[in-house]
Structure 1
């Protein structure tokens, strides 16, 4: 079941819908209330990736709306809290059309909404085991096998992140085409190795004496992760085209 908590910027992130257009500098200041590490280069990168499309003045200056800021805040929150690649975030945004998304999987304590923490606010969007199975249309045996092969795993409290739901949906869909969990173990291992490489590349930035350089580290890591996802897709697509050419 999906619920519809607010997916826009939190209080203080953006002005009302009728506010005047904002410059990229004003957007930066608005976002830094919640995302102190964000930079102008990060905002430009998200724009280049199609996550936000601000209007332009006749002289070419960006003119962001409050809705644009809400959209940016959503993207940054999904990256920070759920470690989602931009491709997945973009797909989620497109599923809701224009504007900021308003629906994400609910926070569900282990055992369902009547669990001991049902009335308390959770710090991140998570879902329980039964709810995850319902969302992806899988059986308990399927999830146990996915976890056995290390494709995903629950947190200590037995809940799953939004990113795990996405993984489970893709693994389930591949399974319906005959791709078993054991076949995907190498894909997961390759993804882990690529993430290790990204962490190694940004480690010097995170320990740099200059604060601005340290701030840039997370934006650089996000860009490297997204580029890695796109490169993997390009490799698969290129190999598929080559195979079709050989078959002609």
Structure 2
């Protein structure tokens, strides 16, 4: 059973990309699809995003493209927290876990902004070797502080015994909703007492019973976390918006 998303292997050469954020931060990475977001034509970008949203609702949007776009939007959101909202110590001296649709982009961002160490969870060694390892190698300034764990929600509690100050979970809700209890238990187990979870996902997926709306309903019913919406303003009015939320423990 695979609950944690991995990058799909596509029969083409891995493509070099650059994630260019509003603050000026840039992260080079490798992906199976072209995702460079450094276009200066903002109106053209809006048209492209609107077309993607409509295709998502009708089920013909390339799933791989949307997951990688989600990873980019996730990094844009944490960049907004650190740079735009001036929470400059957000990652300082923190132990970070990346789980979900793992690309290493959030991990690299966290380490470049003061995190002490990061653990990256990935379910597929083949996809890791194709995309994640080359991305880490392109960011050598932080590569020594990344620990890789090959695993899934079913066995992660056995493989990860430590607690994390920040858990970064892009697209973790993009799975069958029947696994949400396991995901909630994993997050609860892995988070330090005063820790923070940043979770992202769309309010609707054409090809998945799981989505952010259902996850937030379950989180509320469990009563373990308080939810704060950290979705950037530019993403709030999409057709099927990708919400980004912060979870903290309720004491």
Q: TM-score, normalised by structure 2?
A: 0.28
Q: TM-score, normalised by structure 1?
A: 0.28
Structure whose residues are more often strand by fraction: 2
Structure whose residues are more often helix by fraction: 1
Find the structure with the greater CA-based Rg.
1
